[in-house]
């Protein structure tokens, strides 16, 4: 591997992993928030299931399915967090190796090509870890949407039943009022 004669050109290899390290940290922050919300939802659902006397059979089954899905979501989030931490570490290592390679190249030391090869490998591992974490989050989002869709369907069914009962009660009231008038 031949290095450019200008050591500042080698420093440009530092900027890409440094920017990607920042991106991995932003993903970590957002994913950490998702994890906290998923844990809160597990606790909320567990509480609702614990008070099952207040729930209908259909709602209890829904809440249990939601709890299972939310636990699966939390597991995917933890795996994505692991990927993003790995990415941040690998990309930071890539930045450091690039910097070492630049210093060695500036001094004409023989280790510069090896340092830059290490930087490239670490950067590649970091990018792959970010892609893996993003794929896991996409899968988690699918779980989240599935839970939301199931709950909306349940609530729509319950509202329809309530509206039917109200219409039925209103019809009985109207009949009793017409009977009283006659």
pLDDT at residue 67 greater than cutoff 80: yes
Average pLDDT over residues 163-182: 69
Confidence of residue 11 (pLDDT cuts 50, 70, 90): low
pLDDT at residue 24 greater than cutoff 60: yes
pLDDT in tens, 141-172: 998 888 889 888 888 888 888 888 777 777 66
Please count the other Cβ atoms lying within 10 Å of the Cβ belonging to residue 82: 14
Burial environment of residue 38 by CB neighbours within 10 A (0 to 12, 13 to 18, 19 or more): buried
Distance CA 90, CA 124 (A): 8
Distance CA 85, CA 80 (A): 9
Average of per-residue pLDDT values in the chain: 84
Greater confidence (3 vs 9) lies with 9
pLDDT given at position 48: 80
The pLDDT > 70 percentage for the chain reads: 85
* Dihedral sign of CA atoms 110, 113, 117, 119 in order: positive
pLDDT in tens, 78-133: 999 999 999 999 999 998 998 888 888 878 888 988 998 999 999 999 999 999 99
pLDDT given at position 39: 92
pLDDT given at position 172: 67
Greater confidence (161 vs 137) lies with 137
Burial environment of residue 27 by CB neighbours within 10 A (0 to 12, 13 to 18, 19 or more): buried
């Amino acid at each position: 591997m031949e290095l450019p004669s200008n050591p500042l050109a080698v420093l440009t290899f530092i900027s890409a992993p440094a920017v990607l390290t920042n991106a991995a940290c932003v993903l970590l922050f957002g994913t950490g928030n998702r994890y906290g919300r998923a844990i809160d939802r597990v606790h909320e659902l567990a509480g609702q299931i614990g008070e099952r006397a207040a729930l209908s059979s259909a709602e209890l089954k829904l809440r249990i399915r939601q709890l299972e899905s939310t636990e699966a979501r939390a597991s995917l989030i933890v795996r994505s967090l692991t990927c993003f931490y790995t990415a941040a570490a690998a990309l930071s290592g890539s930045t450091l190796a690039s910097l070492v390679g630049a210093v060695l190249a500036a001094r004409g030391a023989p280790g510069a090509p090896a340092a830059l090869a290490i930087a490239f490998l670490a950067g590649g591992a970091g990018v792959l870890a970010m892609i893996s974490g993003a794929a896991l989050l996409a899968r988690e989002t699918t779980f989240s949407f599935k839970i939301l869709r199931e709950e909306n369907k349940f609530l729509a069914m319950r509202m329809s039943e309530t509206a039917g009962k109200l219409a039925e009660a209103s019809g009985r009231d109207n009949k009793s009022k017409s009977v009283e008038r006659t």
